[in-house]
A and B are shown apart, each in its own frame.
Chain A
Amino acid sequence: SAVISQKPSRDICQRGTSLTIQCQVDSQVTMMFWYRQQPGQSLTLIATANQGSEATYESGFVIDKFPISRPNLTFSTLTVSNMSPEDSSIYLCSVKLDRGLADYEQYFGPGTRLTVT
Chain B
Amino acid sequence: DAKTTQPPSMDCAEGRAANLPCNHSTISGNEYVYWYRQIHSQGPQYIIHGLKNNETNEMASLIITEDRKSSTLILPHATLRDTAVYYCIVRVAYMAQTGANNLFFGTGTRLTVIP
Contact = CB atoms under 8 A, between A and B. Distances in A.
A108 B97 contact: no
Contacts of B21: none
Contacts of B51: 103
Given A90-B41, A104-B95, A48 B32 contact: no
Interface stretch (B10-18, B72-80, B103-111): B103-111
Contacts of B105: 42-43
Contact of A104 (B30, B43, B93): B93
Contacts of A108: 43-46
Interface string B84-114: 0000000001110110011111100000000
A51 to B, nearest CB: 12
Interface of B: 30, 32, 34, 41-46, 49, 51, 93-95, 97-98, 101-106
Contacts of B30: 102
A90 B38 CA distance: 13
Interface in A25-69: 30-31, 33, 35, 42-45, 48, 50, 56, 58
